[in-house]
C-alpha cells in the first residue's frame, strides 16, 4: 500500500517567536524554518513501514509557499519516494488543508495517511481528524506504536490517563505523538539523491479547494509576561516563602 | 439558539473539565445543554444535571460510546448539531480526538483551545506554544470550539437540570477498542491538582522520582514531568506537562531539575506561584519562577521535606 505523509513547513522549534508591533501576526522574516517535528516522526514511521514491507511507496505532501519545497526535499532525503507541493500563500487553515489532502487521497488511494498530531505554529491539532471525517475513515491519533495487520492496523495511543490501543480498518488516518520513534538524519548521499526524486507542483484550484481563511484574526498579542522572582539560599527559606504566599 | 457541551467522564465520574467547559459555554450568552455519551453512565448524567447554569442534559447511553471512539462520537454529535449554534468540548485527549471530525463534518473551522471568550463569536487562543495569543472571530454559522480547561474556573454544582435520553446514531464500525493501560495513582489528577511537583532530566532515573513522591505526599500534590523525563522512561507519558502534553495552572508548580524549554513553559507558565529548583543558575526556568533555589536537587528536596515535617506537614 501507499503511505501519504503531509509535512508542514514551520518555524524551527528552538526559535522563540516575536509578535509584530502592529499586532498583525508574528515576525517570520529571517527566522529559521524547518519541518514540523511531529511530521519528521510521521516520515520516519512511513519509512519503517516500507522497510518492513508493509508499505510500497511513501509520498510526502506539503501545502504552502514555494519554499515548502525544501520541506518536501527533507522528507525525500530521509527516504520518501516522491513529493507533491501544493502552492498556496498565506495561512491555509486545517480544514482547507484537509480538503486538499482528501482530493489527493482520492487520486492516490493510499492505505494509510500519517500526519503529525499538531503543527507547532498554529497548535491546532485538527488536520488529521478532519481528513479522516472527510474521507469517512477511522483514525488513530497521538500514536505511540503501530502494528499493521491483515486489512487493519492497531494503534497504541497516548491518552490523558495513559495508553490506549484501538484497531482500525484500513484505509486509515494516523497522527503521531512524540514517542512513536526517533527520526533518522538524512545522510549526505541521500540528500544528493533526493534532488533527483520527482516533486509534482499543484495548486489548490487543481483540487477545487478554496483556501481563503474562514476565521478572522483580529489581533495577535504578546502573552502576559511573568517577572522573575527572588532566588533563595536554603530549602527552609523556600518553605517559609511558600507559607507566606499561602500556597502550602 | 443553544450551546452544547460534550461531557468528559469515565462512565462513572464526571470530570471537572466538563464544569470548566460549561463555564466557557455560559459566556456565549445562550442556554447550555450537556451531552453525556457513554455506557452505563447514568450517574455521570445526574452529576452533569447539577452543574450550575445547565438547562438540560442529553444522555446517549450505548456500548458504541463506552470509550468515546471518535467515529461514532462524530455521528452522534453531528446528529444533534442541527439544534445547536455552538458545540464545545474540553481540550482533553478525547475532545481533541472527536471534535475536529465534527467540525469537518459540519464544514466549519474549529477554534482550538480557547483561553477566553471576548464576545459570542470572538475568542482568544494560544499559538506558537503560547508565545503569542491570537484573537479570532468565527464567521456566521455553527461554532465548534475546544476549551483549554486550565483557563476557566469550574461552575458549581447547585443546579438540577432534567436528563433526557437521546438515541444512538448509526455506528460506522470502522474502529474498535482493544485495551488500555492507565496509570493508577492515589494522587490528584494533574489537570485539577492545586499543587504540582514536576521532575525533569535532572532527576536522572525513575527511582529518583520517589524523592518527589515523598514531598508530594506531604503537600497532597500531583506529580508531573518534562518531556525529557518521559522520553527517558522515568515516568509514564501521561505525566508530561507542556505544549504537547498537559496544560496546567495550579496554585503552586514546583519544577525540579527542569531547564525550562519553551515547550515546557507553554504548559505551566500560567500557574499562580512557580518554584524552580535547579543547579544551573542560568536555566531559563528561573526567568518565570517566583522563587528559585539554585542548588543540587538531591540535597534540596530532602531538606524541604524535613522542614515540612518539622512544621507538622
Ligand atoms: C515538538 C516538540 C514538542 C515538545 N513538547 C514538550 C512538552 O510538551 N513538554 C516538555 O517538557 N518538553 C517538550 N519538548 C522538549 C523540550 O524542548 C525540552 O527538550 C525538554 O523540556 C527538556 O526537559 P528537561 O528540562 O527535563 O531537560 P534538560 O533541558 O536536559 O534540563 C535538565 C535540567 O536539570 C538540571 N539539573 C541536572 N542535575 C541537577 C541536580 N542534581 N540538581 C538540580 N538541577 C539539576 C540541569 O541544570 C538542567 O537545567 C518538546 C520538544 C519538541 C521538539
Ligand atoms: N500546510 C500543510 N501542509 C502539509 N501538512 C500539513 C499542513 N498543515 C497541517 N498539516 C499536517 O497536519 C498535521 C496537524 O496540523 P494542525 O492540525 O495544523 O495542528 C501536521 O503535523 C501535518 O502533518
pLDDT in tens, A60-73: 999 999 999 999 99
Test A228 with B288 for CB contact under 8 angstroms.
yes
How far apart are the CA of A167 and the nearest CA of chain B, in angstroms? 5
The pLDDT of A206-213, averaged and rounded, is 98
Per-residue CA distances from A95 to A32, A72, A209, B103 (Å):
26, 21, 10, 8
Per-residue CA distances from B212 to A73, A240, B33, B209, B235 (Å):
45, 19, 41, 5, 12
| pLDDT at residue B1 greater than cutoff 90 | no
Cα B279 to ligand 2 centre (Å): 38
Test B303 with A248 for CB contact under 8 angstroms.
no
- As a whole number of angstroms, the distance between CA B285 and CA B275 comes to 9
| pLDDT at residue B19 greater than cutoff 90 | yes
pTM of the model: 0.97
Cα A121 to ligand 2 centre (Å): 10
Q: Where are the alpha helices (DSSP H) in chain A?
A: 37-51, 68-78, 94-108, 127-135, 188-194, 235-244
Per-residue model confidence (pLDDT) at position B184: 85
Q: Which residue of A has its CA nearest to B278?
A: A231
Q: Which of B206, B238, B259 maximizes ligand 1 atoms within 8 Å of its Cβ, making it the mutation to test the pocket? A: B259
- As a whole number of angstroms, the distance between CA B116 and CA A80 comes to 42
Cα B17 to ligand 1 centre (Å): 27
**Which residues from A are below 8 Å from B273, CB to CB?**
242, 245, 247
Ligand closest to CA B243: 1
Phi, psi of B234, deg, nearest 5: -65, -40
Q: How confident is the model at residue B78 (pLDDT cuts 50, 70, 90)?
A: very high
Test A217 with B122 for CB contact under 8 angstroms.
no
Test A214 with B139 for CB contact under 8 angstroms.
yes
- As a whole number of angstroms, the distance between CA B120 and CA B101 comes to 22
Query: Does any ligand 1 atom lie closer than 6 A to the CB of residue A120?
Result: yes
Nearest to A121 among B122, B127, B178 (CB): B127
Tell me which residue has its CA closest to atom 27 in ligand 1.
B201
Using one digit for the tens of pLDDT, what is the confidence trace for B96-153? 999 999 999 999 999 999 999 999 999 999 999 999 999 999 999 999 999 999 999 9
H/E run at residue B101: helix B93-106
How far apart are the CA of A48 and the nearest CA of chain B, in angstroms? 20
Phi, psi of A50, deg, nearest 5: -65, -40
**Which residues from B are below 8 Å from A27, CB to CB?**
none
Nearest to B238 among A131, A162, A242 (CB): A162
Q: How confident is the model at residue B239 (pLDDT cuts 50, 70, 90)?
A: very high
Candidates A112, A143, A161, partner chain B, best to mutate (most B CBs within 10 A): A161
- Say if residues B216 and B245 touch (Cβ distance below 8 Å): no
Test B230 with A214 for CB contact under 8 angstroms.
no
For the purposes of burial, counting CB atoms within 10 Å of the CB of B60, is it exposed (0-12), middle (13-18) or buried (19 or more)? buried
- As a whole number of angstroms, the distance between CA A225 and CA A223 comes to 6
- As a whole number of angstroms, the distance between CA B58 and CA B81 comes to 13
Per-residue model confidence (pLDDT) at position A232: 96
Per-residue model confidence (pLDDT) at position B118: 98
Tell me which residue has its CA closest to atom 22 in ligand 1.
B228
Candidates B222, B291, B311, partner chain A, best to mutate (most A CBs within 10 A): B291
Tell me which residue has its CA closest to atom 9 in ligand 1.
B242
Nearest ligand 2 atom to the CA of A88 is 1
Per-residue model confidence (pLDDT) at position A228: 84
- Say if residues B79 and B43 touch (Cβ distance below 8 Å): no
Amino acid at each position: 500500500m501507499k503511505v501519504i505523509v503531509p509535512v508542514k513547513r514551520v518555524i524551527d522549534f528552538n526559535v522563540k517567536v516575536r509578535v509584530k508591533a502592529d499586532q498583525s501576526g508574528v515576525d517570520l522574516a529571517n527566522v529559521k524554518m524547518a519541518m514540523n517535528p511531529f511530521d519528521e516522526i510521521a516520515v520516519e514511521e512511513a519509512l519503517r513501514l516500507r522497510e518492513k514491507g508493509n508499505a510500497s511507496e511513501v509520498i510526502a505532501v506539503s501545502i504552502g509557499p514555494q519554499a515548502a519545497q525544501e520541506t518536501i526535499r527533507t522528507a525525500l532525503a530521509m527516504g520518501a519516494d516522491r513529493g507533491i507541493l501544493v502552492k498556496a500563500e498565506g495561512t491555509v487553515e486545517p480544514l482547507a488543508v484537509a480538503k486538499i489532502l482528501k482530493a489527493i487521497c482520492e487520486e492516490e488511494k493510499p492505505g494509510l495517511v500519517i500526519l503529525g498530531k499538531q503543527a507547532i505554529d498554529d497548535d491546532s491539532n485538527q488536520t488529521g481528524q478532519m481528513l479522516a471525517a472527510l474521507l469517512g475513515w477511522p483514525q488513530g491519533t497521538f500514536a505511540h506504536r503501530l502494528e499493521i495487520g491483515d486489512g487493519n492496523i492497531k494503534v497504541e495511543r497516548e491518552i490523558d490517563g495513559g495508553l490506549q490501543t484501538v484497531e482500525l480498518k484500513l484505509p486509515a488516518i494516523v497522527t503521531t505523538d512524540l514517542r512513536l520513534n526517533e527520526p533518522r538524519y538524512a545522510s549526505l548521499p541521500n540528500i544528493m539523491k533526493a534532488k533527483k526524486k520527482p516533486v509534482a507542483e499543484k495548486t489548490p484550484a487543481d483540487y477545487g479547494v478554496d483556501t481563503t481563511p474562514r476565521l478572522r484574526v483580529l489581533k495577535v498579542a504578546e502573552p502576559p509576561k511573568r517577572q522573575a522572582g527572588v532566588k533563595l539560599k536554603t530549602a527552609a527559606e523556600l518553605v517559609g516563602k511558600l507559607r507566606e504566599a499561602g500556597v502550602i | 439558539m443553544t450551546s452544547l457541551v460534550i461531557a468528559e467522564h469515565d462512565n462513572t465520574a464526571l470530570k471537572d473539565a466538563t464544569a470548566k467547559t460549561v463555564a466557557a459555554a455560559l459566556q456565549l450568552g445562550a442556554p447550555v445543554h450537556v451531552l453525556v455519551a457513554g455506557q452505563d453512565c447514568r450517574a455521570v448524567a445526574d452529576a452533569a444535571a447539577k452543574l450550575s447554569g445547565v438547562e438540560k442534559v442529553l444522555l446517549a447511553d450505548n456500548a458504541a460510546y463506552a470509550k468515546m471512539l471518535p467515529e461514532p462520537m462524530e455521528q452522534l454529535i453531528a446528529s444533534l448539531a442541527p439544534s445547536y449554534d455552538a458545540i464545545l468540548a474540553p481540550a482533553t485527549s478525547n475532545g481533541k480526538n472527536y471534535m475536529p471530525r465534527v467540525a469537518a463534518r459540519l464544514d466549519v473551522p474549529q477554534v482550538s483551545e480557547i483561553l477566553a471568550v471576548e464576545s459570542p463569536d470572538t475568542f482568544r487562543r494560544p499559538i506558537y506554544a503560547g508565545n503569542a495569543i491570537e484573537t479570532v472571530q468565527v464567521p456566521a454559522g455553527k461554532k465548534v470550539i475546544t476549551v483549554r480547561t486550565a483557563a476557566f474556573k469550574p461552575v458549581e454544582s447547585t443546579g438540577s437540570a432534567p436528563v433526557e435520553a437521546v438515541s444512538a446514531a448509526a455506528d460506522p464500525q470502522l474502529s474498535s477498542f482493544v485495551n488500555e493501560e492507565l496509570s493508577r495513582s492515589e494522587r490528584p489528577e494533574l489537570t485539577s491538582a492545586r499543587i504540582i511537583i514536576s521532575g525533569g532530566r535532572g532527576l536522572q532515573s525513575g527511582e529518583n522520582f520517589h524523592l518527589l513522591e515523598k514531598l508530594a505526599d506531604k503537600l497532597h500534590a500531583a506529580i508531573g514531568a518534562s518531556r525529557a523525563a518521559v522520553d527517558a522512561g522515568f515516568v509514564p507519558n501521561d505525566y508530561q506537562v507542556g505544549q504537547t502534553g498537559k496544560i496546567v495552572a495550579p496554585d503552586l508548580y514546583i519544577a525540579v531539575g527542569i531547564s525550562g524549554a519553551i515547550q515546557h513553559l507553554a504548559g505551566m507558565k500560567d500557574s499562580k506561584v512557580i518554584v524552580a529548583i535547579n543547579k544551573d543558575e542560568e536555566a531559563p526556568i528561573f526567568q518565570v519562577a517566583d522563587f528559585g533555589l539554585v542548588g543540587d536537587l538531591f540535597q534540596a528536596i530532602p531538606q524541604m521535606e524535613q522542614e515540612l515535617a518539622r512544621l507538622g506537614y
